[in-house]
A and B are shown apart, each in its own frame.
Chain A
Amino acid sequence: MTELDRIRQAITTQGLAWKAGLTPIAKLHGAGQLSPGVFGLAPRGREPGGGWRSARAVEFGRAGCTPLPASRDWRDVEGRDWVTPVRDQGLCGSCVAFATCAALESRMRIVNQDASLDLTLSVADLFFCGTGTDGCEKGWQPGLALARCRDHGVGRDADFPYFGRQAYCQGIPPVVRVRRWRKATAAEARKEALCTRGPVVGAMVVYADFLYYRGGVYRPTTSEILGLHAITVIGYDDPAGYWPIKNSWGRGWGEDGFGRVGYGSTGIDAQFAFYDVDVDWIESPSGRRGPAQRAGRRAPLGGGRDAADDGEHAGRASRRSV
Chain B
Amino acid sequence: MPRTTESMLDARADAPFEIKLRAPGTSGYEWKADFDHVAFSLVSQRRVANVRRMGASALDVFLFRPLSQGQHEILFRLLRPWEDEPVEQAKYAVHIR
Contacts and interface: CB of A to CB of B under 8 A. Distances in A.
State whether these chains interact. Answer: yes
Interface of A: 4, 21-24, 89-96, 136-142, 203, 205-206, 208, 211-212, 224-230, 249-250, 252-253
B81 A227 contact: no
Interface residues of B, number: 26
B27 A228 contact: no
Contact of A225 (B27, B47, B57, B88): B47
21 contacts: A24-B82, A91-B29, A91-B87, A93-B27, A93-B56, A93-B57, A95-B26, A139-B25, A139-B50, A140-B55, A141-B54, A208-B30, A225-B47, A225-B51, A226-B49, A227-B47, A228-B53, A228-B54, A249-B28, A250-B28, A253-B28
B28 A211 contact: yes
Do most interface residues of chain A lie in helix, strand or loop, or is the interface mixed?
A: mixed
Given A90-B27, A91-B27, A23 B82 contact: yes
B6 interface: no
A252 to B, nearest CB: 5
B29 A227 contact: no
B46 A229 contact: no
A89 B27 CA distance: 7
Chain B, interface SS category: loop
Q: Return the 9 tightest CB-CB contacts between A and B, nearest first.
A: A93-B55, A93-B25, A139-B56, A139-B55, A229-B26, A139-B53, A249-B28, A227-B26, A227-B49
A224 B54 contact: no
Nearest to A209: B81
A86 B27 CA distance: 14
Contacts of B29: 91
B82 A227 contact: no
Interface of B: 24-30, 46-47, 49-58, 78, 80-83, 87-88
A94 B80 contact: no
Contacts, number: 111
Contacts of B83: 252
Most chain A C-beta atoms within 10 Å of own C-beta, residue among B24, B28, B46, B47 = B28
Contact of A141 (B25, B27, B53, B80): B53
A138 B47 contact: no
Contacts of B81: 4, 22, 211-212
Contact of A137 (B30, B49, B54, B56): B56
A4 B24 CA distance: 21
A225 B49 contact: yes
Contacts of A142: 54
A228 to B, nearest CB: 4
Contacts of A139: 25, 50, 53-57
